[in-house]
Each structure stands twice: as structure tokens, then as C-alpha cells.
Amino acid sequence: MSGGFLLSCLGGNICIMLVPIFTLKLSHKINPRMVTVGKFDGVHPCLTAATQAGKVFIHNPHTRAQKPASHRLSQSTQDSDISLLNINHAVTCLTAGTLGPNAAGDTLLVGSQTNLLAYDVHDNTDIFYKEVSDGANAIVLGKLGDIPNPLAIIGGNCALQGFDSLGNDLFWTVTGDNVRSLVLCDFTGDGKNELLVGSEDFDIRVFKEDELVSEMTENETVTSLCHMHSSRFGYALANGTVGVYDRNSRYWRIKSKNHAMSIHAFDLNADGVVELITGWSNGKIDARSDRTGEVIFRDNFSSSVAGVVEGDYRLDGQKQLICASVEGEVRGYLPAGKELKGNLMDSSAEQDLIRELSHRRQNLLLELRNYEENAKGVSDSTGGIPANTQLQTALSVRAATEVQKAHVELSITTPNETIIRAVLIFAEGIFEGESHVVHPSVQNLSGCVRVPIIPPKDVPVDLHVKAFVGGKTSTQFHVFEITRQLPRFSMYDIAIDPSAPPPTGRVTFTINDRPQRVAMWLNQNFLLPEGVDTPDVTFSSLRGGGLLSIGMTANGQITLQTDDIDLAGDLVQSLASFLAIEELSAEADFPTYFEELQTTLTEVDEFHAVHQKLTAEMADHSNYIKNMLVQAEDARLMGDMTSMKKRYRELYDLNRDLVSEYKIRSNNHNALLACLKSVNQAIQRAGRLRLGKPKNQVISACRDAIKSNNVSALLRVMRAGVSAS
Ligand code: CA
Ligand code: CA
């Protein structure tokens, strides 16, 4: 039966492969994820990419007019179609597009850990060159919310910053961790773009201008984002996962052992819907259906893919998908013509499909045989289990013991004499490799399996459980499948030790809701076996974070006491979302944390001072070097070898000093970056204790305080919010 099905299915296919329409071998290596296409004269698309040693190359095969060399732009000596742009810093991101309202061509934007350059390639001039203290790990160019002009938005050290064509920063806000990927798309469907931010704390956050409107938690660093169509977008994680979301629900995802280097949306089979194109670290390119993740096309490069972009590189009005490898190999693919009928798979991919289908057939035959055996042997109980067998699951909090860390226990039981042979649990971000198998030894078989679970973060997680149930001597088992949700705050136990020191940190706010609703929120979000009927509860953190007390007064004032400001923010956000509160102001104090912040701010000042001093010294030294070189050269010309040797020895010593000074400078810079990151994080944390307008006001007031170097104003805003100050 299945053999016949296979044949008829394959008979309908015509094996034509989609082949590259052009290939290039550039003589420059390409930095991963730093590839773009820009029409810098408004007409001719140029592949542009960061290469080694702080340079950007611009490939322009269309116009041969040589540009006059400038302090930045020079001609590549290896390739006449390539111009090299000098950045002098290691490039961390780049993009090209419309920035200026009146510019004829695209603007090139190049980010580094310290600066953002907007460059007019056509006129060979800087548009602006800005110092950016939070660095630029990712960049996106386009319109955001109601801001009339396009912005170049960079994401760095916990901060987001957007510049217009004049270099004014019209947009700034903070986010939870280092930003790794950005994309603009109309997430809410109101015709205006939101900013999607992927970061190292595994979150994808959605900003409507500077207001956070949605948050999706993934289980690894979000390394790439790309807009597909309407509110649908693709994403890639550092662990080899790629997938597609529509708003905040995930459509599909797949996980590979390779890394997804670049993702891009492109309609390769010309059916009017874009596919998700992924370039992988092993050189593979694949195109997947936006709806199902099914592969419709594959190709291979001999080295890791660096970037996937698109452009009309042949100037014939049709866009090509352009893929570039780290070794400088470039291939362009045209969307499939009618003769391919959307069938882009080459024969080897088709063989993969046959292999997969026959594997599936094998498994089904095996399953069928099992059922037949079972049907024969109903009476001898080899596989049959009582009809009333049902799987029961329970979650409970277990405090730390001498042999085991504190954890949440998932117990899985059968109600009768049947035993559980094995349990397979699938849960995102909890087990290494996402799944966990429990397989008790034969002498320990019973109707109950207990699995310790330690969620690393306070996020709700679905536990997908498969249990193999049968008789004690069975060789075949029934598989039960159950999904159980682990509540968000499951790593907190009702506190039994009243002598533990009370937390000094707290946040206080007032709500217009009944205490019963707050109790309902507690019952849904914590593991409370007995349940609670008042909002006044004290928990102790199983992760060792001390006590958490929740209290509510008769007039609706809620106080959360904890020393963990992140936990306080999570609780405020969770409760507000449960009660559908959109605007909330709060008063807060986290004495220990604010003290640390004050120390950090003093350190920032010190590092800035050292930085300035070192920069001045370096300028002095380079003048000194110039003089000494001139003197050494003069000595050589006059045949005075003794003086020449002396000068060169001095130069050697000076060089050694310079190298060690450079190390100090670089350490100083890294320490400064770490401090700035924690300052941005503190602002974000202070914001998360509020919602809506009060939150945005706190964030922008904090930034003003930082700008004017007013530490006491900063702490006042963090404590009291804006309305009260
Ligand atoms: Ca929108
Ligand atoms: Ca398509």
C-alpha cells in the first residue's frame, strides 16, 4: 500500500533544480551577520559587508567611475570592483537604506563598540559620526511608531538608541540585557512599526516607540530577527533554533546542531508568500515554508554562510536572493520560474524525503505488528492494562535536603497495579537538550515516578509528559501523553521560618481591585497546595533569594517586600497583567541595590576620567614617536649609526610602554562598559516596577539625571517615580 503511494507521489514531480543565476568570488573575507545591499547612488545595488581589520567593502560592478580617494574610502588592490571604507574600529553591525528625507541614494550605517558612522558613499562624506557609549551590537533602519523620519536604531549594552539623518537621537530606552538582534515590523497591526528586540536574556521584546508592549521568552540568546509579512517574523537562537512567530504565538521552530548565521524573508518559489531563508554555519542554505517550516529548497557553500540579503543585482527589474559566505563566495538565486512549478528540491533532497518516508513506514509497520500481537494476547496480560488506567500528575515544592537541592517535584502516578516503565518530559529551557528521560531499573519499577524540576527563571513552562505504562512483566507499553503547566513563580515555598530576617527592599502601589482577585492571582502563579484566600502571604525563595512578603491593606495598597528587584518587577508585571492594569505608579526602595548602584556610578566617573587621561597621553606619545622617527632617519642619512641605534632602542622601549598602556586602556574600557550596562539595567529595573506612562516617565527622567550627572535625582526618581518628585 504505502509503496504504491510513494511511487505515485514521486511520479508527479519533475526534478528540476533551482541553480544560482550568478556566482562571484570576492577577494575579501566577510564578517558573519554584517552583510547588506545598498543603492548608494539611488540606482545600482552594491553588496556591502564588513571585513577584517576595521574595514567595510563595497562591491560595485555596475559603474566603473573611480571615486577620488579620501581619508575613509580607497580602492581594493585585489579587486577593481571593490572600494574599501576605513572604520578604524572593529565593525559590529552595518546596514544600508533610506535615512535622509531628501537624500537621492541609500545611507550606509556602520556600528562599532564605541561609534556609529552614517556615511554617504556616493558623495564620499561622513553624514555623522557619533560616539555611542552603550555600543552597537545590532542595527536596523526604518520608521518607528509616530516618529516622522526614518531612524537608524542601534541596540547595545542594555540600551536602544535611534538617530535621524542629522544625528539627533530621537529615541532612547533601556532593555533587559545586551541586545543582539533588531527588526521593525507592524506587530500590533495598526499600520505603524514596532521595534522587536532580541537579547542575551533569551527574550524577544516588542517596543511601541519606548513603551514595552509584549515579551516572548525563548530559551537561548536571540541572535537574529527578520520580518516576514504583516505581523509575522522569523527568529534564530544561539543554540541552532530557527522559527517563525505571528505576533506572540510561535508557528513552528526547528533545531539544528549548526548555528543559524543569518535569516532573511524571500519568496523563492514565486507563490506570493515569503519563505524563511536560513544561512547556516556549516555552509548550508535552506528555504522553509513560513507556515510549516517544511524545507522547499537547499543549497551548500563550502564555508559558513555570513549573510543572506536580496537585491536586483543584474539590473533587470527582478530581485535575487543573494547569499554570501565568510570566504567571500557570493551566489544569487532568482525566484523559481513557472517551469519549476514551485518544486525547488534537487534530487538528493528528494532522496532524503524517500528515506524519511520509508523510515516512517517501517515504524508504522512495527506499530501495526505490536497492535496485532496485543490483540492476540489480551488474556495473557503482556500488554493489556485495565481500562480505568489514567495517569495522574501533581506538582509540589520541595525544600532543600542534605542530598538534594530545593526543587519542584513532578510526580506521575497510575491508580492501579500497573507500573510506569519510563517517562519522557519535554520542556523548554529546563532540561539540557529540552527533554529528560526517566527510566527506572527493573527492581525499582512502580506505579509512581518522581521527577525533580528546577526552572532557572520565573517563567511559566509547559511540561509535555509521555509515560510508558504496562504490567510488571510487559514488554509492550501504552503511551500516555499529558501536558501540565508549571506556574510562573513555582520556586517559592510558603515560609515556615519566621525568624529569617525580613527583606529591606520593597515596592508599594495601589490598585482598584478586590483582595480575592489578588488571592486568585497568587493561586494561579505560585504552587500553593492548600490555596490561599487572602493576599497576605510570605514565601521563601528556593533559589536562596531570601523572603518574599506580599501584603494588601483595606484601601487597596499592595506592598511587595523582597531584596530582589528583578523579582519585584516580575511580580508587578504579572499581577498587572492578571488584573488588566495598564497604568501603574509605584514607590520603591531597594537599599542594598541602590547603594551598589551609587558605587557603580562613582566608578563610571572614575573610568571616564582615566579614559580621558589615557587618550591625552596617547596623543602625546604619538607626537613623540613621530619626532623620534624623524631623528632616527636623519641619523641614518648622515651615517651616524650610534645615534640611529640609540633612537631605535628608545622607540622600542616606547613601543613596549604603549602596548602596556593600550592594555590598561582596553581594560578600563571594558570595566566602563560593564558599569554602563549595570546602570542601564538599573533604569530598566526601576521602570519594570511601574506600567504605562508612569513607567516611561521614570525611564526618561532617569536618563536625564544620568545626562546631567545628578546621582541624587536618579535615585529619587527610582524610589518615588516621577509624579511624586
Ligand atoms: Ca504597529
Ligand atoms: Ca513563496
pLDDT for 676: 85
> What is the 579 CA–ligand 1 centroid distance (Å)?
24
> What is the 280 CA–ligand 2 centroid distance (Å)?
20
Say whether pLDDT at 86 is over 80.
Answer: yes
Report how far residue 292's alpha carbon sits from residue 305's, in angstroms, rounded to the nearest whole number: 23
Report how far residue 698's alpha carbon sits from residue 712's, in angstroms, rounded to the nearest whole number: 14
Q: Which amino acid is at 554?
A: A
Q: pLDDT digits over 693-703, tens only?
A: 999 999 989 98
> What is the 150 CA–ligand 1 centroid distance (Å)?
15
Say whether pLDDT at 381 is over 50.
Answer: no
Measured in whole angstroms, the distance separating CA 347 from the mean position of its chain's CA atoms is 35
Report how far residue 336's alpha carbon sits from residue 348's, in angstroms, rounded to the nearest whole number: 18
Of residues 147 and 104, which shows the higher confidence score? 147
List b or e across 581-590, with b for residues whose CB sees 16 or more CB atoms inside 10 angstroms: beebbbbbeb
Query: Which ligand is nearest to the Cα of residue 269, counting in written order?
Result: 2
For 47, 109, 118, 119, 120, the CA distances from 38, given in Å and listed in that order, are: 7, 10, 13, 12, 11
Query: Which ligand is nearest to the Cα of residue 144, counting in written order?
Result: 1
> What is the 247 CA–ligand 2 centroid distance (Å)?
20
| This prediction's pTM | 0.77
Query: Which ligand is nearest to the Cα of residue 291, counting in written order?
Result: 2
Rg (CA), the chain: 31
For 176, 203, 564, 576, 722, the CA distances from 200, given in Å and listed in that order, are: 9, 7, 20, 25, 30
Report how far residue 496's alpha carbon sits from residue 680's, in angstroms, rounded to the nearest whole number: 37
374 grid coordinates: 496485543
pLDDT for 395: 94
Q: pLDDT digits over 646-690, tens only?
A: 988 988 888 888 888 888 888 888 888 888 888 989 999 999 999
Cβ-based neighbours of 556, under 8 Å, separated by 6 or more = 510, 511, 512, 513
Of residues 572 and 415, which shows the higher confidence score? 572
> What is the 147 CA–ligand 1 centroid distance (Å)?
12
Report how far residue 235's alpha carbon sits from residue 237's, in angstroms, rounded to the nearest whole number: 7
Phi, psi at 682, each rounded to 5°: -65, -40
> What is the 166 CA–ligand 1 centroid distance (Å)?
25
713 grid coordinates: 535625582
> What is the 568 CA–ligand 1 centroid distance (Å)?
29
Query: Which ligand is nearest to the Cα of residue 276, counting in written order?
Result: 2
> What is the 158 CA–ligand 1 centroid distance (Å)?
23
Cβ-based neighbours of 362, under 8 Å, separated by 6 or more = none
Query: Which ligand is nearest to the Cα of residue 143, counting in written order?
Result: 1
Q: pLDDT digits over 305-356, tens only?
A: 999 999 999 999 999 999 999 999 999 999 987 666 556 666 566 777 888 8
**CB 37: neighbour CB atoms within 10 A?**
23
Write out the E strands in 487-639: 492-494, 506-510, 537-541, 547-552, 557-561, 587-589
The predicted model gives 430-438 an average pLDDT of: 87
> What is the 193 CA–ligand 1 centroid distance (Å)?
5
Q: pLDDT digits over 45-58, tens only?
A: 999 999 988 899 99
> What is the 207 CA–ligand 1 centroid distance (Å)?
9
> What is the 460 CA–ligand 2 centroid distance (Å)?
35
Query: Which ligand is nearest to the Cα of residue 186, counting in written order?
Result: 1
Phi, psi at 253, each rounded to 5°: -155, 155
Say whether pLDDT at 428 is over 90.
Answer: no
Angle at 456 between CA 454 and CA 461, to 5 degrees: 75
668 grid coordinates: 578600563
387 grid coordinates: 481500562
Report how far residue 304's alpha carbon sits from residue 285's, in angstroms, rounded to the nearest whole number: 10
For 176, 406, 684, the CA distances from 679, given in Å and listed in that order, are: 11, 32, 9
| 3-state class (DSSP) for residue 301 | coil
Report strand pairing: 547-552 vs 55-59.
unpaired
> What is the 48 CA–ligand 1 centroid distance (Å)?
30
pLDDT for 385: 78
Query: Which ligand is nearest to the Cα of residue 229, counting in written order?
Result: 2
> What is the 582 CA–ligand 1 centroid distance (Å)?
18
Measured in whole angstroms, the distance separating CA 459 from the mean position of its chain's CA atoms is 17
Query: Which ligand is nearest to the Cα of residue 213, counting in written order?
Result: 1
Contact yes or no for 574/488 (Cβ under 8 A): yes
Short-list 99, 105, 123, 116, CA closest to 159: 116
Of residues 587 and 377, which shows the higher confidence score? 587
Query: Which ligand is nearest to the Cα of residue 214, counting in written order?
Result: 1
> What is the 612 CA–ligand 2 centroid distance (Å)?
54
Residue 161 bridge partners (DSSP): 154, 172
DSSP letters spanning 401-449 = -SSS--EEEEEEE-SSS-EEEEEEEE-TTTSTTSEEEE---GGG--SEE
> What is the 288 CA–ligand 2 centroid distance (Å)?
9
Residue 118 bridge partners (DSSP): 109, 128
The predicted model gives 443-452 an average pLDDT of: 91
| Per-residue confidence band for 17, with pLDDT thresholds at 50, 70 and 90 | low
Query: Which ligand is nearest to the Cα of residue 273, counting in written order?
Result: 2
> What is the 186 CA–ligand 1 centroid distance (Å)?
4
Of residues 227 and 546, which shows the higher confidence score? 227
Query: Which ligand is nearest to the Cα of residue 145, counting in written order?
Result: 1
Report how far residue 84's alpha carbon sits from residue 89's, in angstroms, rounded to the nearest whole number: 14
Report how far residue 200's alpha carbon sits from residue 223's, in angstroms, rounded to the nearest whole number: 8
Which range scores top for mean pLDDT: 332-336, 504-508, 665-669, 710-714? 504-508
> What is the 336 CA–ligand 2 centroid distance (Å)?
9
Query: Which ligand is nearest to the Cα of residue 296, counting in written order?
Result: 2
> What is the 290 CA–ligand 2 centroid distance (Å)?
8
Of residues 346 and 548, which shows the higher confidence score? 548
> What is the 322 CA–ligand 2 centroid distance (Å)?
16
Query: Which ligand is nearest to the Cα of residue 287, counting in written order?
Result: 2
**What DSSP designation does 584 have?**
B
Contact yes or no for 164/149 (Cβ under 8 A): yes
Contact yes or no for 228/277 (Cβ under 8 A): no
> What is the 609 CA–ligand 2 centroid distance (Å)?
56
> What is the 57 CA–ligand 2 centroid distance (Å)?
31
Query: Which ligand is nearest to the Cα of residue 231, counting in written order?
Result: 1
> What is the 182 CA–ligand 2 centroid distance (Å)?
24
Cβ-based neighbours of 144, under 8 Å, separated by 6 or more = 151, 153, 162, 171, 184, 193, 194, 195, 209
Mean pLDDT of the chain: 89
Query: How many C-alpha atoms does 124 have within 13 Å on its Cβ side?
Result: 12
pLDDT for 91: 96
Report strand pairing: 222-229 vs 232-237.
antiparallel
Query: Which ligand is nearest to the Cα of residue 290, counting in written order?
Result: 2
pLDDT for 65: 55
Report strand pairing: 547-552 vs 232-237.
unpaired
End-to-end CA distance of the chain: 78
> What is the 234 CA–ligand 2 centroid distance (Å)?
14
The predicted model gives 354-373 an average pLDDT of: 86
Query: Which ligand is nearest to the Cα of residue 208, counting in written order?
Result: 1
> What is the 188 CA–ligand 1 centroid distance (Å)?
4
| Per-residue confidence band for 8, with pLDDT thresholds at 50, 70 and 90 | very low
479 grid coordinates: 503511551
Measured in whole angstroms, the distance separating CA 501 from the mean position of its chain's CA atoms is 38
pLDDT for 347: 57
Say whether pLDDT at 9 is over 70.
Answer: no
DSSP letters spanning 448-473 = EEEEEE--SSS--EEEEEEEEEE-TT
| Per-residue confidence band for 15, with pLDDT thresholds at 50, 70 and 90 | very low
Short-list 178, 27, 175, 168, CA closest to 92: 178
The predicted model gives 530-545 an average pLDDT of: 90
Query: Which ligand is nearest to the Cα of residue 188, counting in written order?
Result: 1
Q: Is 614 left (phi over 0), alpha (psi -120 to 50) or beta?
A: alpha
**What DSSP designation does 108 have?**
E
Query: Which ligand is nearest to the Cα of residue 272, counting in written order?
Result: 2
> What is the 340 CA–ligand 2 centroid distance (Å)?
13
Residue 205 bridge partners (DSSP): 197, 215
| 3-state class (DSSP) for residue 534 | coil
> What is the 253 CA–ligand 2 centroid distance (Å)?
18
Residue carrying the nine cell digits 536596523? 140
> What is the 266 CA–ligand 2 centroid distance (Å)?
7
Residue carrying the nine cell digits 510558603? 494
* Helix, strand, coil tally for the chain in percent (to 5): 25, 35, 40
